[in-house]
Amino acid sequence: MKLIILRKNLKDGLKRIEKIASENSNLPILKNFLIESCNNKIKLSATNLEIAIITLIPGKIVEEGAITIPLTIFNSIIGNIQNERISLETENDKLIIKTDNYSAEINGIKKEEFPIIPNIENTKFYFEISNILLLENLTSIISSANNKNSKQELNGVLFDFQTNLVKLATTDTFRLSEKTINKSQFESNINKDFKIIIPILTIFEVIKELQINENGKALIYFDPNQILFKIEDTQIISRLINGEFPDYQQIIPKKIEIEAVLETEQLINAVKLSSVFSDRFNEIKFLIKEDYQNIEIFSVNQTIGENKYIISIKNKIKLENQLEMAFNWQFLLDGIKNIKSENISLGLNTENKPIIIKSPEDHSWFYILMPLKV
């Protein structure tokens, strides 16, 4: 193999796959990535056996071939080379890197020893959505996800396809996010409803790729056990999580005793200021007194001190008694930051029931958070 490539293009390609190559004592080959010529482009592939990423980058193919080499070492070299034009060639299972004033040899492994990246059998039925819209939808629900839960089904994103809409949902049992994508916002030729759970680590990689490529459209294909995201010249292939996603509809409040509409930026500022005085449980408190016109957001720390922030409630509310609730400020802020509108709606009930956060103008998204015990 002999390739000539621009450093920028190579760095861009390595950035897409760098987190997938993993340290694995049982399979050292997983620390490597595969570089090969493919249809007049250079193909880079990495896998950890759960997720695989393949990306194509431009370059000149002088001689066809392939080799696998340690990604960390190669990435470090390319990151420090100053020359823009780089030559890569193989000789006796070594990759030779050359520029005008630098050369290096890296011991590699034959392509045949690299794990086989599975293909998606179904490429007939697809789901297509703009990159920017998919990015916005995924980032709006990602904050309530968890990748370290003992229950596998909670370590992912629910993709609930219903032909006329799609619902995305995540939960870590303390909080829940749901986003609805209407039929007018995507294209698909799938004609039956289904639900799958996509690993959260896969979604992180998809988000990273979408941030690089906000223009264009993403194509998504499904198998019973796999999913494929095609975003420009990059493919992300992942196993799906087996199991049933929790029936979260039962924890969505059926009625709201108080709906308080506040200014979004003012609430964000109040939560950030109150967090300075929060305790080791990240606790801040909400208090609505008898006049019902304001919410007091306050926190107390026996070592540091205390503070209080008063926000006017924009709408008229009715309340028999004053209401006090406590929340983890970080979890609360994670939800509030997803509101893009000027105002935010807080649906409050009694002290032990969850709060529901949404935009008064956009009903396609909501965030539910369990309160702390006062």
Domain definitions of the chain by residue range: 2-113, 126-248, 252-369
For residue 25, what pLDDT is reported? Answer: 59
Distance CA 166, CA 107 (A): 47
187 φ, ψ (degrees, to nearest 5): -125, 145
For residue 232, what pLDDT is reported? Answer: 95
For residue 111, what pLDDT is reported? Answer: 96
Provide CB contacts within 8 A for 319, sequence distance 6+: 257, 258, 288, 290, 292
Is the alpha carbon torsion for 207, 210, 214, 216 positive or negative? negative
For residue 188, what pLDDT is reported? Answer: 96
Give the tokens for residue 312: 């006017």
Residue with tokens 């294209």: 187
pLDDT tens for each residue of the chain, 374 residues long: 999 999 999 999 999 999 898 766 578 899 999 999 998 999 999 999 999 999 999 999 999 999 999 999 999 999 999 999 999 999 999 999 999 999 999 999 999 999 999 889 888 999 999 999 999 999 999 999 887 777 888 899 999 999 899 999 999 989 999 999 999 999 999 999 999 999 999 999 999 999 999 999 999 999 989 999 999 999 999 999 999 999 998 888 888 888 899 999 999 999 999 999 998 889 999 998 877 789 999 999 988 999 999 999 998 777 777 889 999 999 999 999 999 999 999 998 876 889 999 999 999 999 999 999 86
Largest CA distance in the chain: 82
Q: What does the buried/exposed string (b/e) look like for 238-277 if buried means 16 or more CB atoms within 10 Å of the residue's CB?
A: bbbbeeebbebeeeeeeeeebebbbebebbbebbebbbeb
Q: Which CATH number fits domain 126-248: 3.10.150.10, 1.10.150.110, 3.40.50.150, 3.30.200.20?
A: 3.10.150.10
H-state helical runs in the chain: 7-17, 71-80, 131-141, 200-212, 264-275, 329-336
Is the alpha carbon torsion for 104, 72, 218, 140 positive or negative? negative
Distance CA 216, CA 226 (A): 23
Q: Which CATH number fits domain 252-369: 3.30.450.20, 1.10.630.10, 3.10.150.10, 3.40.350.10?
A: 3.10.150.10
Note the pTM of the prediction, 2 decimals: 0.93
The SS3 call for residue 153 is: helix
For residue 116, what pLDDT is reported? Answer: 93
Question: Domain 2-113 - what CATH class?
Answer: alpha beta
> Phi/psi zone of residue 163: left (φ > 0), alpha (ψ -120 to 50 degrees), beta?
left
Give the tokens for residue 360: 């008064």
**Count of H-run helices and E-run strands, the chain:** 6, 26
Q: Say if CB 350 and CB 158 are below 8 A apart.
A: no
Q: What's the chain's length in residues?
A: 374
For residue 289, what pLDDT is reported? Answer: 81
* CA-based R_g, the chain, Å: 25
Same fold, 126-248 and 252-369: yes
